[in-house]
Structure 1
């Protein structure tokens, strides 16, 4: 199996370095890593620092936003399986090998994650809190609230030949839309191991009324596309505490040691 890792990045040099560091430590290495720099700061020095990784860098001159940039990356892959990765997340050792084993009997596999908040010291993100994110994957429940995290998920590239690319018109909810489209025609498996470290902050302006209006707009488009009915835009962590979500909680193996990911970029800076 030839695995192509797809990464879209925009002005997250040190976080991206941590992701590449985690890939360099994997027990199974990818066939290729396609990075699309969406008109952000240069990441060329990371290509040099992680020279043993099979990185293909695509530099965009215009910022096309994350969904279109992801489609560009997928279109440039030459492997037969695609693993998605957000540039501010990273993987625990053994993640790729475990997901590749699961894909042998399925078309699309995704793992549980740990939601982690960080503080940054000397360009290294230090974990300050962690929360297991593991939920059963009943399709009807996934239509009400998606617990699919795209980072670290792996699927057969041929899926795109049948259902097309990611939908930029859904924007924030491209991953939920993709999951629902895949579920109609392909075999999906949730891997009950929290082997992806998912960076998430519950601070800042992402809860502003203006941004919530935009999210509601895209959520309405998603709902109309899949006939999902009325969907909530409540705060993410508030939703997780509601009875419906508590009932969906599932057991998972926690494998992360909780230590920060020290990249070669930081080591070079302070050596």
Structure 2
């Protein structure tokens, strides 16, 4: 059985997924499986075939585009004792899995690293990094009730947490990750080391306008607020959180070269 199960839901991001999988082939720690959940998107056979013999991949076509339900399906298939969450357009630096596995082996129940937010341009079939900046804030459970600074992509946790806490909450949909970090942090050890080993794709078009969420997202946000008795009523995206909190950025280890899928 693999030590780690990497769960990647995806929807029509073949080029980004290829980059993410390429980065996984460069991990120093290789005792993991990859579970790809295709959310009713275009077929991925051509992408997955390129990694035959390099990655142990389980590929599932799902009949709907529901990313939380897809992650829960991935959890049900996971063979590893640790689960690592992974968005299809993000990448992990080569030391990432080795280091977060070490965090759990040292006693943490969940570990998530800092991130390099990157903007990019497309050149033919690959992304070229335009700008980078760290997303690095200390973990504080009470502070997490005001704004979520938890980036789930690249985070790892003990699969046994689901036995106690249940699966990801589909009822809060877009806010499943905020809900998860609050639930885990209630009675379990969350570690947030100062290592920026997650490359988080930051949509160049994101701005204050993108925070004007539609009515359906407000419904999910209100459910989260009620569930956890949060003190906030303002919906924010990562762009706004980063803008408001830059003065509180912490020092973090930054080793990204600026070139996607290259070694640290």
Report what 1:268 is aligned to: none
Report what 1:14 is aligned to: 15
Are 1:108 and 1:156, in contact at CA under 8 Å, matched by a contact in 2?
yes
Gaps (5+ residues) in structure 1?
263-271
Root mean square deviation of aligned Cα: 1.9
Structure 1 residue 204 displacement after superposition: 6.3
Q: TM-score, normalised by structure 2?
A: 0.92
Kindly tell me the number of residue pairs found equivalent between the two proteins: 259
The aligned runs of 1:17-36 (5 Å cut-off) are: 17-36=18-37
3-state SS in 1 of match to 2:55:
coil
Structure 1 residue 117 displacement after superposition: 1.0
Are 1:125 and 1:261, in contact at CA under 8 Å, matched by a contact in 2?
no
| 1:250 aligned onto 2:245 | no
Report what 1:99 is aligned to: 100
Specify whether residues 238 and 7 from structure 1 end up closer, same or farther in structure 2 by C-alpha distance, changes over 3 A only. closer
Specify whether residues 166 and 207 from structure 1 end up closer, same or farther in structure 2 by C-alpha distance, changes over 3 A only. farther
Structure 1 residue 234 displacement after superposition: 4.2
Specify whether residues 102 and 250 from structure 1 end up closer, same or farther in structure 2 by C-alpha distance, changes over 3 A only. same
Are 2:207 and 2:240, in contact at CA under 8 Å, matched by a contact in 1?
no
Report what 2:229 is aligned to: 227
Report what 1:125 is aligned to: 127
3-state SS in 1 of match to 2:167:
coil
Specify whether residues 207 and 68 from structure 1 end up closer, same or farther in structure 2 by C-alpha distance, changes over 3 A only. farther
Specify whether residues 169 and 101 from structure 1 end up closer, same or farther in structure 2 by C-alpha distance, changes over 3 A only. same
The aligned runs of 1:35-54 (5 Å cut-off) are: 35-51=36-52, 52-54=54-56
Specify whether residues 209 and 97 from structure 1 end up closer, same or farther in structure 2 by C-alpha distance, changes over 3 A only. closer
Q: 1:114 aligns with which of 100, 113, 116?
A: 116
Gaps (5+ residues) in structure 2?
none
Structure 1 residue 212 displacement after superposition: 3.8
3-state SS in 2 of match to 1:86:
coil
Deviations 1:139-198 (A, max 9, x none): 111111111111111100000000000111111111000000011121110021000000
